[in-house]
Structure 1
Amino acid sequence: MALNTIIKSPLALAITAALTTTALPAIAQDEAVKIVQSKCLACHTEESSKAPQWSRISHQRKTPEGWLMTIGRMQMMHGLQISDDERSAVVKYLADRQGLAPEETTDYRYAMERRLDTMEVFDDSQLEEMCARCHSGARVGLQRRPAAEWEHLVHFHLGQWPSTEYQALARDRDWFPIALNEMVPKLAKMFPMDNDNWKQWQAATKPNFVGEWSFAVHQPGRGDGRGVMKVEQQEADRYSVTVEGQWADGTPLKGFGSAIVYTGFEWRAQIDLGGVQMRQVLAASKDGMNLSGRVFETVHDERGMEFSAAKATTGNSQIIAVYPQNLKAGESTEVTIVGSGLKGRVSLGKGVSVEKVLNRTYNSVTVLAKAAKGATTSANGVSVGAVNGGQFAVYDKVDQVKVMPAFTIARVGGNGGSTPKVQARFEAEAWGAGADGKAGTEDDIRIGYLPASWHVEPFDEAAKADNDVHFAGRMNAASGVFTPGNAGPNPERRMSTNNAGNLKVVAQVQDGDQTLTGDGQLIVTVQRWNDAPLP
């Protein structure tokens, strides 16, 4: 699980900001090479001046965040003197020249997108025990090295952290020989420096980002929204961005900012969205017709939204989102379909009639929909003319409610300290029984998110005895947003401990005359001091 202690220092924050700093003039590629030669060759050696090639540096491939962390480590641990502008130029050069192909990042994008409640699961238990016990496994999965470089990394870990062999999941085994003789060949095979995906991506035509993008967003505790993002090129791989749209309740969704693209598809932007500074961490599809990822507050990465977009251009007809996601039998509501090139008749599937088209543009269509009184629970496909996509559920009753996420954390903060509180956000996901009529089986039908009433309870007897519900924080009953307590010792608690806690999160959904509940677990813990770009 990516809940590791991960450096919240001014330098670390500056390093992260460098990913989206585009106001300064772009430095040409040959200038970036000169920076490497002047700043790095005091320790690294030049292997070839033609390519060029440098020891260690030229034998790794990483994401932009990975290269940022490398340079940041050189600054903090080895005294590298480099300006913000120079650092940004080197990251851009290395990420383009030695980045990852789209296929190589797919399974680990949660780390770049700051989804810090992700439960990591790997088929290889040795990878979990030897690597992911200290940092996320995604940090490993977002690197590519030959065997010799993986071996160097093992030696680096032991040299930098000599106590590694005496920590949990290390002192119970012969750690160093296992790392060298078993993990090095395994990692070289799992994450090789050279492969077909990278070769093909280097030769591929890269996406063109200029133009208008129809987008949809979803934010826990806030809901759905849509709009258009306009992208204009300023310099090579650098763009200005304007956003204009609205939330489902009609509240404006407007913003502006700048973006930079790494490796031909990795979109990073800094956006002022209604006065709040936000970061976009997105990936373009290989054909350049879609952008997807996460948008989150620069200071509070837990406050974020899902983002998906389709390029609003002739020939790109697709559906990217439908909201709301469901409708109860016998009721009617407005339904909005978001996408590109949305022309023709709207269908929300069996049991649903489209009473009226309320609004239609090239990028969205809003209709008044009604579910038949006798409709039974089903997950329907959605279409607009010849375009299919998305899902719309019709239900006669809710059979089960799940709290999403089922497990997460919040962190105390504030109280005069430098680290703010980290909230936790929950949603109530409704499910209907499938053909077998039993809830909780494999053929259950996902209905989608429904409004809920929220509260917290002690998770166990220890939490009850310590009165965690009172001290750990407060749950917003309407939104499902939990705000933790203040940081620091609390003299009102037993032994003046801090405001940590172990809580059960309970969602209550009203469906007709029945009330259904679901629950999850929330750990309220201490501040995260190390906050690297990759956890």
Structure 2
Amino acid sequence: MALKKKNNMTRALLSTGALAFMGMATSSAQAASGESIIKDRCLICHTETGDAAAPFSRISQQRKTPEGWLMTISRMQQQRGLVISPDEKRELVKYLADKQGLAPSETENLRYVLEKEPNVVESFEPLLQETCVRCHSGARIALQRRTEDEWKWLVHFHMGQQPTAELHAGARDRAWFDIALNQVAPYLGQKFNFDTDAWQQWQAQAKQPLSGRWAVHGFLPEKGNFDATMQVTMQSKDHYQISLEGNYADGSPLAGQGKAVVYTGYEWRGTVTVGGVQMRQVFAASADGQSLVGRMYPNEDDVMGGQIKAVKKTAITAITPSYIKQGEQALLTVSGYQLNGKVNLGSGLKLLEVVSKNDNRWVLKVQASPKASVGTRHIKIGNTSASEPLAVYDQLARVEITPNDSIARVGGGGGKIPKQKSVYRAVGYAAGADGKVGTLDDLRLGYMTANWSLKPFDETAVHDNDIQYAGQIDARGIFTPGDAGPNPARKMSTNNVGNLGVVGTVQEDGKSISGESHLLVTVQKFVRAVIE
């Protein structure tokens, strides 16, 4: 019964509820106002406080992201019997995220969990690591704001809902409940307090509409870099229609249509179908409404997405490749918006030809002098300077593989849970001014083309022949794990799990320079949360 209940909750979070912030819902005008929904649906359990600033008990004392409020409402449905229609649920998420959300500065450095960025290694205070982060991400905690009393009630909720929390490894050997209630909750009440200057200032700030023509630059693992134009048309307040059209770096077309909803004045949540694949967009808009930054990924495979930057102001968003070697020629693609004027490459670089250009994309043939000084240049077109530099280098000194540590999960094999892949890229570095390799002074060159291979990570992986069973990596750096389920060919018919090293090798001037990272291939994830 417990497993069935968990599966039902997962479906609730990932079906009708998830549409609330993916831009696929019907117009929110069809639903009642958020405040009236609370009064009609929530006051069976909650109460009115009589305080105009915080009118509803246990609701008005919290602030969360759209995903956080979605999870709360879904939990009320599954565990407390809340009856609420899909339209009402969408409207309530919108109302609460707008009225009791987080300011942009309060989500900084934590957006990886909202954007579903894979393989992020967190680091939080030991007090949180030892009591809370044993079960879920630290970002899930840090993306909430509560009064101290609310943090304490959350501890009590955990004990009531998951009474075995005290018996987990790392908890049963100490007074977990006492520490959580009397140390962790007061700490959270100070660090992640309900009332903050950042939120007051953001509430008071005028919010900019995001309609208009956007220049988009991004990366998707299966196709590579792309440049596109995204036309955004307002349908109603904070609800937009999306049209996306552009090209990948290899010249193949990219096109898509979809919708988006904006929460809290800057939290963009969109769904757009590209090449028959439904993609999610999780972006943060700048305060001036002129840029969007975040990730776009397939609905059913968030690992296979990438970083996106969109602008509707004059700007250079990317230079690809982001490096050029002394004495060599290179074709540089400059992406941006409203690019017009004379090209200025900086010292030691000569423009040989403008191969092609339009408002959003210039392709330049560039020559680097053999004596060009090692370092960075900020390319300009007209009065527009690139925010990210172009690196001029003498020789490739080392290669770093990203992510440094990663997880992939077996799947398929007749089961319903698909494989979870992992994606790798090689980042090149030249020695810095100190001439030493591996120091903070190293010059980052950017992503480079690499040849990919796998190796056993340790002696146990050699003994268990993980390299044969755990999976394969292709020429794009995409690792696909093996099938789920017992494998009779393995010792004790174990699963196709494994402990591997990922090796990326860059060829330059007849030399092979490699970097390595760690990959753990493990079993399926049976419960997917909106915020892990």
| Coarse TM-score class (shorter-chain normalised) | over 0.9
Q: Which residue number corresponds to residue 511 of structure 1?
A: 508
| 1:495 counterpart = 2:492 | yes
Cα distance between partner residues in 1 of 2:359 and 2:500: 46
Query: Aligned to 1:57, what secondary structure does the other structure show?
Result: coil
Matched-pair contact (CA < 8 Å) for 1:207–1:284 = no
Shift of 1:52: 7.3
1:456 maps onto 2:458 in alignment: no
Cα 1:184–1:309 shift into 2, 3 Å = same
Question: How far apart are residue 29 of structure 1 and its match?
Answer: 8.0
Residues 417 and 17 of structure 1: is their aligned pair in 2 closer, same or farther, counting only changes over 3 Å?
farther
Write out aligned runs for 1:108-119 (5 A). 108-119=110-121
For 1:330, the aligned partner's letter is G
- What TM-score do you get using the length of structure 2 for normalisation? 0.95
- TM superposition shift of 1:137: 0.3
Shift of 1:69: 0.5
* Contact preservation (8 Å) 1:508, 1:518: yes
Contact 1:96 1:264 in 2 (8 A): yes
Query: Structure 1 residue 353 and structure 2 residue 350: aligned?
Result: yes
> Which region of structure 1 is more displaced relative to structure 2, 85-94 or 43-52?
43-52
* SS of 1:171 mapped into structure 2: coil
Distance 1:17 1:418, change over 3 A: farther
1:364 aligned residue (349, 361, 365): 361
CA distance in 2, matches of 1:130, 1:193: 21
Q: 1:38 aligns with which of 33, 37, 40?
A: 40
Superposition map of 1:322-337 within 5 A: 322-337=319-334
1:440 to 428, 435, 438: 438
Instruction: Note the C-alpha offset of 1:254.
Output: 1.0
Gaps of 5+ in 2: 1-5
Q: Deviations over 1:481-501 (max 9, x none)?
A: 100011111111111111110
Which letter maps to 1:371?
A: A
Give the conservation status (yes or no) of the 8 Å contact 2:343–2:382: yes
Q: How many angstroms apart in 1 are the aligned matches of 2:393 and 2:122?
A: 33
AA aligned opposite 1:515: S
Whether 2:466 is the aligned partner of 1:468: answer yes
- Superposition map of 1:311-460 within 5 A: 311=312, 316-375=313-372, 377-389=374-386, 390-460=388-458
1:508 & 1:343 partners in 2: Cα distance? 38
1:137: which partner in 2?
Answer: 138
* 3-state SS of 1:510 partner: strand
Q: Compute the displacement of 1:28 (Å).
A: 6.8
| Residues 270-321 of structure 1, C-alpha deviations (whole Å, 9 max, x = no match) | 000111110000000111111000001100000101100111xxxx322211
Amino acid aligned to 1:107: N
Q: Partner of 1:27: helix, strand, or coil? A: helix
Does the 8 Å CA contact 1:471/1:485 hold for their aligned counterparts?
A: yes
What is the DSSP-based 3-state SS (H/G/I as helix, E as strand, rest coil) of the residue aligned with 1:490? coil
Q: State the alpha-carbon separation in 2 of the partners of residues 142 and 510 from structure 1.
A: 43
* C-alpha distance in structure 2 between counterparts of 1:49 and 1:153, whole Å: 22
Q: Hey, what's the Cα distance between the residues in 2 that align with 1:493 and 1:136?
A: 33
Change (3 A) 1:118 1:62: same
Counterparts of 1:406 and 1:254, CA distance in 2: 33
For residues 442-485 of structure 1, the C-alpha deviation after alignment (integer angstroms, 9 at most, x for no partner) is 11101111111111010000011111011111111x21110001
Query: Is residue 412–residue 525 contact of structure 1 (8 Å, CA) maintained in 2?
Result: yes
CA–CA distance in 1 between the matches of 2:24 and 2:448?
Answer: 40
- Provide the C-alpha distance between the structure 2 equivalents of 1:222 and 1:214, rounded to a whole number of angstroms: 19
**1: CA distance, partners of 2:285 / 2:397:** 38
Deviation, structure 1 residue 30? 5.3
Contact in 2 for aligned 1:215/1:310 (Cα 8 Å): yes
Structure 1 residues 360-369 or 191-200, which shifts more?
Answer: 360-369
Offset of residue 219 of structure 1: 2.9
Residue aligned with 2:376, SS: strand
Q: Secondary structure at the match of 2:288?
A: coil
CA distance in 1, matches of 2:127, 2:237: 43
Show CA shifts across 1:125-155 (max 9, x none): 1122111111000001100000110010000
Structure 2 residue aligned with 1:3: none
Q: What is aligned with 2:122?
A: 120
Amino acid at match of 2:220: Q
Deviations 1:510-533 (A, max 9, x none): 111111111000000111112111
Indicate the residue corresponding to 1:12 in structure 2: 13
Q: Deviations over 1:202-258 (max 9, x none)?
A: 111102101001111023453211111110011111000001111111111111100
Partners of 1:223 and 1:51 lie apart in 2 by 49
Separation in structure 1 between the aligned mates of residue 132 and residue 54 of structure 2, nearest angstrom: 32
* Cα deviation, residue 377, structure 1: 3.7
Distance across 1 between alignment mates of 2:418 and 2:232: 33
Between the two proteins, the alignment pairs up a number of residues equal to 524
SS of 1:58 mapped into structure 2: coil
Q: Which amino acid aligns with 2:427?
A: E
Deviates more, 1:482-491 or 1:362-371: 362-371
Alpha-carbon displacement from aligned partner over 1:257-278 (angstroms, at most 9, x marks no partner): 0000001110000000111110
Shift in Å at residue 359 of structure 1? 2.5
* TM norm structure 1: 0.95
3-state SS of paired residue (2:317): strand
Q: Tell which deviates more after alignment, 130-139 or 339-348.
A: 339-348
The whole-number CA distance in structure 2 between the counterparts of 1:251 and 1:107 is 34
Structure 1 residue 35: deviation in Å? 2.0
CA distance in 2, matches of 1:223, 1:153: 43
Which structure has more RCO (C-alpha within 8 Å, separation ≥ 6)? Answer: 1
Farther off after superposition, 69-78 or 134-143: 69-78
Partner SS state of residue 253, structure 1: strand
Q: Which moved more, 1:210-219 or 1:363-372?
A: 363-372
Q: Secondary structure at the match of 1:287?
A: coil
Deviation at 1:174, TM superposition (A): 1.2
Query: Residue type matched to 1:291 in 2?
Result: L
Q: After superposing the two structures, state which structure 1 stretch, 387-396 or 406-415, moved more.
A: 387-396
- 2:253 & 2:269 partners in 1: Cα distance? 23
Code of the aligned partner of 1:306: Q
- Using the TM superposition, give the Cα deviation of residue 49 of structure 1 relative to its aligned residue in structure 2, in angstroms: 8.7
- Aligned 8 A contact 1:379 1:446 in 2: no
| 2: CA distance, partners of 1:21 / 1:223 | 26
2-structure distance, mates of 1:388, 1:133: 45
Is residue 19–residue 25 contact of structure 2 (8 Å, CA) maintained in 1? no
Encode CA deviations 1:395-424: one digit per residue, 9 max, x unaligned.
221110111111111111111211110110
The percent identity for this pair of structures is 46
SS in 1 for 2:112: helix
Cα deviation for residue 367 of structure 1 reads 1.4
Cα distance change of structure 1 residues 196 and 52 upon mapping to structure 2, 3 Å threshold: closer
